[in-house]
Amino acid sequence: MQKQYGDYVRTGPRELTIFDPGALQALLGPQSKTTKGPFYDILDKSLNLNRDRVWHRQRRNVWDNAYKKSLPYATPQIEDVCDRLLDRLRKVAGKPLLLLEIMTYFSYDVMCALAFGKPPGYTAGESSADAEHILNTLTQGISAMGIMYHMPWLMNALAVLTSLAGPMKDWTDWSVSQVKARMAIKNGPVDLMGELIKNTSDDDAGHALLYGDSRLIISAGSETTSSALTFVFMHLALYPHYMRAIREEHRANLSDYHCSTPLPLLDAVINESMRLWPSIFFATPRVTPPEGLTINGHFIPGDMIVQIPPFSLTRDARSFVRPDDFIPERWTTKPELILNRSAFFPFLIGPYSCVGKTLAYMELRSVIRRVINEFDVILPEGFVAEEYWDGVKDHFTAGPPKQEVSFVPAGVF
């Protein structure tokens, strides 16, 4: 579409899709005058699903403080779930398993542990039938959003129609029960939900907000991490010299290991994978101010819905040399391959940037370092990379195809 129509394309009666890297700050940056689009009116109110800028700023302060207080206590929970992941991989070493599935189990266990104090046991294969049902409901629901986020009115209608019974009600009821159970724990462990509970009004409105925030924690923190991990491991399997180099880097820094500690090559591989395959394909729609906006000589009238697709910006040759190639060195020894670093924004920018960025990097570093320390990731014979990448779906978050890989003890191949 960009090649045919240019950087500014009208994609609806009052909708404009923008591919110009120079528009990023005007639409999403700290000084942007835009507001969130109608999509954010859907479903129950949470930190993310709200269009009031003043309200969001106040609630974001609560979240930032909750994360600041709870983050130091997140490391043991991340490492505990990672222990369970390694135990499972050791039991099936050399046997094919679905990469996306196991990474989904890990990410949901971590976020449930951080939100509610205990992982459901997906990674270890110990989850209950109810927990499995909730996980399937959530992953299928996020896939459906890929179609419906273009029609927010439809999502609101479906929310009403499914409030009596069905998957959405099951997911809502489950999250409510988890929050109520956490609220009943007095003087419990320091965790994210506990800190949010302390700083939210103890009334119906406050409880409803906590229910919405709990669903945000689980869905936003899990789907994005599972897809990011899947894409990193796929790249390492395709480029095994990076896998071996990460193993060497990890072992050279083992004495002061901590999942919050960045390592040059590891972080470069993570960033390059997220550049090529951002976890969020969603174009974050915004509404222009009444007076309109002028961006690089283009005037956009007021009250227009404008959106800027991350996938297109991070593969734009104006920002990255050889934009479609996997080159982690662009983040380390070859900085000349980055022409516009601001075009890399996997966690968004500005007032609506992802509050969980630090946590996400902690999870990614922990899993990748510890798994690659023990295992090589091997693709099956006949694997065709082009077919795999062509199969990635845009359903709000990035949707990696189901692909079997084998985790083989390091050095066997």
Which pLDDT tens digit goes with each residue over 156-184?
Answer: 555 554 454 566 677 788 888 889 999 99
Q: Report how far residue 348's alpha carbon sits from residue 364's, in angstroms, rounded to the nearest whole number.
A: 18
Per-residue pLDDT, 284: 85
Residues in the chain predicted with pLDDT less than 70, given as ranges, are 41-44, 47, 141-168, 412-413
Which of 176, 252, 198, 225 lies closest to 361 in space, CA to CA?
A: 225
Query: What residue type is assigned to position 403 of the chain?
Result: Q
Letter string b/e over residues 243-277, b meaning 16 or more CB atoms within 10 A of that residue's CB: bebbbebbeeeeeebebeeebebbbbbbbbbbbbb
Which residues face 36 on adjacent strands? 286
Q: What is the CB neighbour count within 10 angstroms for residue 20?
A: 19
Per-residue pLDDT, 151: 60
15-18 vs 286-287, strand pairing mode: unpaired
Name the percent of the chain lying above pLDDT 70. 91
Which of 195, 34, 139 lies closest to 402 in space, CA to CA?
A: 139
Per-residue pLDDT, 219: 81
293-295 vs 375-378, strand pairing mode: unpaired
Per-residue pLDDT, 164: 47
Backbone angles phi, psi at 377, to 5 degrees: -100, 120
Q: What is the CB neighbour count within 10 angstroms for residue 96?
A: 14
Domains of the chain: 2-409 (1.10.630.10)
Tell me how far apart the terminal alpha carbons of the chain are, to the nearest angstrom. Answer: 43
What are the tens digits of pLDDT across the range 316-359? 999 999 999 999 999 999 999 999 999 999 999 988 888 999 99
Neighbouring C-alpha atoms within 13 Å toward the C-beta of 50? 20
Give the per-residue SS3 of the chain.
CHHHHCCEEEEECCEEEECCHHHHHHHHCCCCCCEECHHHHCCCCCCCCCCCHHHHHHHHHHHHHHHHHHHHHHHHHHHHHHHHHHHHHHHCCCCEEEHHHHHHHHHHHHHHHHHHCCCCCCCCCCCCHHHHHHHHHHHHHHHHHHHHCCCHHHHHHHHHHCCCCCHHHHHHHHHHHHHHHHHCCCCCCCCHHHHHHHCCCCCHHHHHHHHHHHHHHHHHHHHHHHHHHHHHHHHHHHCHHHHHHHHHHHHHCHHHCCCCCCCHHHHHHHHHHHHHCCCECCCCCEECCCCCEEECCEEECCCCEEECCHHHHCCCCCCECCCCCCCHHHHCCCHHHECCHHHCCCCCCHHHCCCCHHHHHHHHHHHHHHHHHHEEEECCCCCCHHHHHHCCEEECEEECCCCEEEEEECCCC
Which of 374, 377, 163, 178 lies closest to 269 in space, CA to CA?
A: 377
- 49, 212 contact by CB (below 8 A): yes
Which residues face 378 on adjacent strands? 406
Give the per-residue SS3 of 327-363.
CHHHHCCCHHHECCHHHCCCCCCHHHCCCCHHHHHHH
Backbone angles phi, psi at 307, to 5 degrees: -145, 150
Residue 354 annotated as lining a ligand binding site: yes
Q: Report how far residue 366's alpha carbon sits from residue 413's, in angstroms, rounded to the nearest whole number.
A: 24
Per-residue pLDDT, 412: 61
- 314, 343 contact by CB (below 8 A): yes
